[in-house]
A and B are shown apart, each in its own frame.
Chain A
Amino acid sequence: MGTTNPLASLLGRSPFKPMQEHMRKVVLCAQLVPALFDALEQDDRETLNQVKASIFELEHQADALKNDLRAHLPNSLFMPVARRDLLELLEVQDAIADSAQEIAGMLTLRVDLVPPAGMCGAFKALAQHCVRTCEKAGEAIEQLDELLETGFGGRESERVQRLLGEVGTLESETDKLGIALCQSLFEREKDLNPVITIMLYQMIREIGELADNAEKVGDRLRLLIAR
């Protein structure tokens, strides 16, 4: 007898586990960004391209997870959170991977796009700080199943709010690092190729995007809990 249990089919696929899986992938993707600057500093083109390839691969995997998750959220699904909020959270999670991909793509675009002598470390430090912000947001996303258990309220939601507070703090620190980096770039402008200079400013902004998107993940998560 090929019985399908009515309960088994009633319980739709919970979106929370795949949400977490996606976020893990995205964070892995971001974590590779500092390695790009390591490779640049040592002028190791081979490693640079390898890291870039890994980032592209992870971004691709995250995309697949995203599309799969979207496909499994039909309108008929009754969830403890608003469907729209969940999809928007997914969107901003994915934007982190997109930023990482953008950085990797830019850095491998042309061989002369290299931070000026002595600045590679500062770029890497900014990237690392942004990665930490992403990791913190990832930590908050890891609490989704606990949040589900407590009905998105109570102590668990306080715990998540605290984590999100830390995400905010980290993000504003990355802003400061970014501005400092821009200033030191400004001081060296006269010795640099103008096109490269513009691209480096863009690079700083793009690295900052990692943290910005992590903060957006936090904001979306707040909305999810707020109802």
Chain B
Amino acid sequence: MEIIQEHGTIFMFLAIIFGLYMCWGIGANDVANAMGTSVGSGAITVKQAILIAAVFEFAGAFIAGGQVTKTIRKGIIDPAPIANNPELLVYGMLAALLAAAIWLMIASSKGWPVSTTHTIVGAIVGFAVVGIGPDAVKWQKISTVAASWIVSPIVGGGIAYMLMISIRKLILNTDNPFQSARKWGPLYVFMVGFITALVTLWKGLKHLKLDFSMAESFFISALIGLIVAYMGKRMIDKVKLDVEADREYHFASVEKVFMPMMVFTACAMAFAHGSNDVANGIGPLAAVVSIVQSGGEVAQKASLPVWILVLGGVGIVIGLATMGHKVMQTIGTKITELTPTRGYCATLASAVTVVLASKTGMPVSTTQIAVGAVMGVGFARGIGALDMRVIGGIFLSWLVTLPAGGLLAAAIFFIIKGIFGS
């Protein structure tokens, strides 16, 4: 208790610094991955991607980021055994943040496609095992998180598959694909707004003091969907049939219809990513803040201060603006296989899956879901070639991340403990 009171300000300061560092890392690397499909398909430029990400990442973190933050903060470990030594939890969360941020930087510089979510979960488990004891880890919860790593890409893939099939049925396999695209385009845009809004509203936005019933949620989502669909229709109507390009490739004009539609899925993706991944940075930060502010109480019922969500959003945007654009530039030139129709399916499916998971409080990996969604399009015979070897490599990097984050966090935990004592 005395340690908390004595060094409270330092802990807060460190937590904010480490939290910002982590959020910066998320913005620099992860966001770029999330926006990659949109930039790669040529629907939006890197500049637009940064702008969209800045606004919607922030909105996602602020509006829907609370649930996952809660899971990260207190869903993974049970702090009851150290109720009398709250400083241990503070050390641990600080260690987890720093370890995750460092690992993220190492992995990014090596080009390993690690997940920020896996990193932070591994780090928290790592310090808990050495700092509190294996019993403190809620293994039950960990196993559901681990299960979601399998389930969520499959869900994302399944949705992408169905979207791909529906586009084929309604648009590509008709007498006049361009006319069909213009006709159905607004519906697809409606889906982006409607589904994203619906899953966001589903559980209510308690920390914003907004709580809607099921019927109200449906109504509001439909309204948002209609507004977005109207905007989409205005943009789609501007697309002209390009006879010259169609001679070369029959669906050139259809793809052009999907270009403006991708803008909406990019927004949804940024929103989804913000709602899920910002928690990786601010979850531990929020835990430290709540302990310090309560004077050393490992409070279970502390609410999440809004300024922390804001801080997380700002951190991500800074990371995106400083490093993310470079990453996106390289991605943009690499993913040429993703045409707007394919990109649309993959991105919307990922976005929906991520917000869905976020609302259940499940910390999922955005990259992993995006990979699953792209595979879904591939299984619908929509992509020329998927390199299955890469799946193994990606999977391996994710597996390595758990112990790496854990060991790093454990080491830092002991360093911090050595500095401040216990």
Contact = CB atoms under 8 A, between A and B. Distances in A.
Most buried by A among B37, B108, B113, B341: B113
A151 B382 contact: yes
A154 interface: yes
Nearest to A80: B381
Given A8-B335, A151-B168, A156-B173, A14 B108 contact: no
B387 interface: yes
Contacts of B386: 10-12, 77-79
Contacts of A148: 381-384
Given A3-B32, A146-B250, A151-B381, A8 B389 contact: no
A155 B164 CA distance: 16
B168 A10 contact: no
A149 B173 CA distance: 10
B419 interface: no
B29 A1 contact: yes
A9 B390 contact: yes
Interface string B297-316: 00000000000000000000
Interface string B348-391: 00000000000000000001001100110010111111111111
A77 B250 CA distance: 26
A80 B385 CA distance: 7
Contact of B330 (A3, A12, A149): A3
A1 B108 contact: yes
Interface size class of A (residues with CB under 8 A): 35 or more
A145 interface: yes
Contacts, number: 144
Nearest to A18: B384
Contacts of B391: 10
A152 interface: yes
A6 B346 CA distance: 14
Contact of B334 (A2, A8, A149, A153): A8
Contact of B250 (A12, A79, A156): A156
A5 B341 contact: no
Given A5-B334, A9-B390, A14 B385 contact: yes
B168 A150 contact: yes
B109 interface: yes
Contact of A15 (B36, B173, B249, B385): B385
A150 B385 contact: no
A111 B391 CA distance: 60
Nearest to B110: A2
Contacts of B337: 11, 14
Contacts of B36: 5, 7-8
Contacts of B378: 78, 80
B380 to A, nearest CB: 6
A14 to B, nearest CB: 3
B384 to A, nearest CB: 3
B371 A7 contact: yes
Nearest to B397: A6
Contact of B108 (A3, A10, A77, A156): A3
Nearest to B39: A5
B339 interface: yes
A13 interface: yes
B154 interface: no
A76 interface: yes
B361 to A, nearest CB: 25
Nearest to B28: A1
B335 A11 contact: yes
Contacts of B367: 6
B326 interface: yes
B295 to A, nearest CB: 40
B278 to A, nearest CB: 20
A10 B331 CA distance: 12
Contact of B327 (A3, A78, A150): A3
Interface in A1-45: 1-17
B394 interface: yes
A74 B388 CA distance: 10
B418 interface: no
A37 to B, nearest CB: 32
Interface in B25-70: 28-29, 32-33, 36-37, 40
B172 A149 contact: yes
Nearest to B375: A10
A4 B249 CA distance: 30
Contacts of B40: 7-8
A143 B365 CA distance: 37
Nearest to A146: B250
B323 interface: yes
Given A148-B384, A151-B164, A154-B173, 10 more contacts: A6-B370, A7-B335, A11-B374, A11-B387, A17-B384, A78-B378, A79-B385, A80-B381, A80-B383, A149-B341
Q: Give me the 3 closest cross-chain CB pairs, A-B, nearest first.
A: A14-B384, A154-B173, A6-B113
23 contacts: A3-B29, A3-B108, A3-B330, A5-B36, A7-B335, A7-B338, A8-B334, A8-B335, A9-B387, A10-B371, A11-B374, A12-B384, A12-B387, A12-B390, A13-B384, A14-B384, A76-B387, A77-B388, A78-B386, A146-B249, A149-B382, A151-B380, A151-B381
